[in-house]
Structure 1
Amino acid sequence: MRHGHGYRKLGRTSSHRAALLKNLAIAIIKSEKIETTLPKAKELRSYVEKLITRARKGDSNAHRAVFASIQDKASTNRLVTEVAPKYVGRNGGYTRIVKTRLRRGDAAQMATIELVSAE
């Protein structure tokens, strides 16, 4: 029974799952919109929103904390200097998931996950 189980395993080992989430996070920071499977998108939402919340302060400690998670200098810099400051007045809900199609081949439910435009 999975009472209180807090994450999706996605059919991967823990190190593979961590690498997958890190690479998806880098991709969404760079392009602001990606298409992936629905379970991956739902798991990525939590991961990216925590990163954005950390990056909102914009100080050197925020840089350090974000870089420790995604280990990509360009994406870290873009997140802390360009993306996160747009969400300073917003308490969470930085991403949107939209179901798109069934993937041909294995009929997996696909979804786009994108950063919400801040007003």
Structure 2
Amino acid sequence: MHRHGYKGRKFSRERDQRRALIKGLASNLIDHGAITTTTPKAKELVPYFEKLITKAKKGDLHNRRQVISKVATIESAHKLVDEIAPKLTARSSGHLRINKKDNRRGDNAQMATVSFVDDISTAKDDAKPTTKKATSLTKASVAPKKASTVVPSAPKKRVATHTNKTATRAKGVTKGDR
């Protein structure tokens, strides 16, 4: 039992390492939409990230700077405030879910996936593959390719080099030392 006032898990890390860990997890969640981590880390991340979402929903300069200070990269903070938070206005809380997965093979740690409850995919991400398909059918890609005039050379033969074993023995190096 702990005394009063103990809050959070230590994760066998010092204070700065714990802060960096949570910041990194938050940034990866923003960038990828879902992350897989251990269950205790996921349980620590959810309340931390819920507070970030609340600040990001307000969207003013002060709260934007608060989000920047709590996330590992500035790009992730801007993405949270500008793209993700407007899509989460329907809920006041409970934006994330934790799904438990199988244990990790190496150390048998319980794993979990943290993801958003609502769909946060952007229209830009959906539009990118269609534009790539449209641009792939240009004249350059449709036109037949010219035959190259370069004749491929024959593969080079490997020549075995002789190692001077007698010279190493003469210096006093024994068979066990090599």
- Max Rg structure: 2
Number of aligned residues: 119
Identity fraction in percent: 45
TM-score normalized by structure 1? 0.93
Structure 2 equivalent of residue 44 of structure 1: 45
TM-score normalized by structure 2? 0.63
User: Any idea what the Cα deviations from partners look like across 1:22-71, whole Å, max 9, x if unmatched?
Assistant: 00000000011000000000001111111001100122222111011114
Structure 2 equivalent of residue 12 of structure 1: 13
Higher strand share: 1
Structure 1 equivalent of residue 160 of structure 2: none
Structure 2 equivalent of residue 95 of structure 1: 96
Q: Which runs of 5+ in 2 are unaligned?
A: 121-178
> What is the CA-CA distance between 1:89 and the residue it aligns to?
2.7
Cα gap change, 1:72 to 1:109, in 2 (>3 Å): same
CA distance in 2, matches of 1:9, 1:71: 19
Q: Which runs of 4+ in 1 moved over 3 A?
A: none
Q: CA RMSD in A?
A: 1.5
Q: Which runs of 5+ in 1 are unaligned?
A: none
The code of the aligned residue for 1:115 comes to F
| Counterpart contact for 2:24–2:72, Cα < 8 Å | no
Structure 2 equivalent of residue 54 of structure 1: 55
The code of the aligned residue for 1:82 comes to E
Higher RCO (CA < 8 A, seq sep 6+)? 1
